[in-house]
Structures are given as C-alpha cells and as structure tokens.
C-alpha cells in the first residue's frame, strides 16, 4: 500500500491565467505563467494525492502523475472545476479574470474610421466562492490565493472571509512574482498568519503541500 501522506486524497488545483475572448482573434488576459499553480499540483502529487489540474493557457508541461484539463475563459474554468468535484482538497491558484467581454463578436472586429470600439465588461463568476459555499460537494479544505499590490494582510483576510475558503495564500505581486521562479507568500488561516520568506515556487509549493498533509493527519 502507498504510505504517502496524501494517498487516496482527491485534489483539484487551478492554475494560470484565464483568457476572455473579445472576438475570434483577440482577448483579455493577465501575466500569470502558471508556474506557482503547476508547482502546487506537482507537490501534492508527490505526496500521493490524485491531482486534477485545471489550467488556463500556459507554456508548461503537465507535472508527472497529474491529470491536466485545459480551459480558456473563467466560465469554462468554473464548469471544469465543478465537473471534478467532489474532492477532498481544492487549491485555487489561477489568476481568474474578474470581468469578461459582454457580447463576444462572432467575427473579427474591423478597424473603422470612427475610432476604436468600446468594450462592455460584465463580472465573471467567482470560482473560489462557489467552491467554498457550504454543500455536500464542498471540499474539506479549500485554499485560495490572493494577489495584492498593497495592504496584503487586510486584503487577503477580507478575501478569506468574503469567499469563505479555509486558507488563503497571500501573494505580494508588487515585486517580481508573475512568471518568475521565486515567490514570497504569507499563509493566512482563520487564526494565524505565517510569512514564508522568498524561495523558489517549487519550495513554496512543497511547504504548502506539507501543511495540507499535516492538516489531514490532525
């Protein structure tokens, strides 16, 4: 039998950006490379978990032993996550676009003499909040991320309570984080905050995976 600490546990991880189409050739996206989320998926799989990685468009290979599901827009990411519940654990590290274009054009929008078109935006569903909502399919542990450029603690704590997840990994993205191999984060739980100094995204992921394994041991 597999003696690894997360053997038999089912995990859903989201990673990367979402891509919100404007028309068939253009879209809105963000600077997430997927590195942090892919490292989390790999670290959980190394501890024996069965990991499904719901990934936005990135240029990374799927980690060994991880099942990857490609998605583009936030609405597709939400459907893919929900299709893979129930799970014991969800880790939502994707940089999900808060808005999408209302009324995606079916053909390429042409450049016209009258000036540029206006884009009307509508709010995307909050995947983390939906997964965290009480119900039979709620994972036992839901971990969110919070990318902030100021007031990390206040903003991360506000997200922890507003979205209803159990832990949040606060990420100060004002210095190099997007696309880089290093990261400095603070793990916020309901009753504590643990700052983790800057280290490789692989090491951040391994630390988080071990914390998760400890949680399930307790």
Residues classed as catalytic? 30
Q: Interface residues with ligand PMT (CB under 6 A)?
A: 14, 32-37, 74, 92-96, 98, 124, 126-128, 144-147, 159, 171, 173, 177-179, 201
Judged by beta carbon, residue 119 or residue 129, the one nearer ligand PMT is: 129
Q: Is the Cα torsion angle 204, 132, 173, 69 positive or negative in sign? A: positive
Q: What tokens does 60 get?
A: 């990374």
- CA 99 from chain centre, in angstroms, equals 16
Judged by beta carbon, residue 109 or residue 210, the one nearer ligand PMT is: 210
For the chain, list the strands marked E by DSSP. 10-15, 20-23, 26-28, 50-55, 67-70, 89-92, 99-101, 121-123, 141-148, 167-172, 182-189, 192-200
Judged by beta carbon, residue 117 or residue 179, the one nearer ligand PMT is: 179
User: Is 128 labeled as ligand-binding?
Assistant: yes
User: Is 163 labeled as ligand-binding?
Assistant: yes
User: Is 102 labeled as ligand-binding?
Assistant: no
The answer to whether residues 29 and 101 touch, using CB atoms and an 8 Å cutoff, is no
Report the binding-site residues: 98, 108, 125-128, 145, 159, 163
Report the binding-site residues for CTP: 98, 108, 125-128, 145, 159, 163
């Amino acid at each position: 039998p597999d003696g690894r600490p997360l053997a038999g546990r089912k995990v859903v991880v989201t990673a990367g950006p979402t891509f919100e189409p404007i028309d068939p050739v253009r879209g809105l996206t963000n600077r997430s490379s997927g590195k942090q989320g892919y490292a989390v998926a790999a670290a959980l799989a190394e501890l024996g978990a069965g990991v499904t990685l719901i990934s936005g468009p990135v240029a990374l290979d799927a980690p060994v032993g991880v099942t990857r599901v490609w998605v583009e827009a936030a609405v597709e990411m939400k459907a893919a996550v929900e299709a893979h519940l129930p799970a014991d654990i969800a880790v939502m590290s994707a940089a999900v676009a808060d808005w999408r274009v209302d009324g995606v054009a079916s053909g390429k929008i042409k450049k016209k003499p009258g000036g540029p078109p206006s884009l009307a935006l509508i709010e995307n569903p909050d995947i983390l909040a939906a997964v965290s909502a009480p119900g039979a399919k709620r994972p036992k542990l839901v971990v969110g991320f919070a990318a902030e450029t100021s007031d990390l603690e206040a903003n991360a704590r506000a997200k922890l309570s507003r979205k209803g997840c159990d832990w949040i990994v606060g990420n100060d993205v004002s210095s190099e984080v997007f696309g880089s191999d290093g990261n400095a984060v603070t793990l916020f739980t309901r009753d504590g905050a643990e700052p983790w100094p800057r280290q490789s995204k692989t090491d951040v992921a391994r630390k988080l995976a071990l914390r998760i394994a400890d949680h399930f041991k307790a």
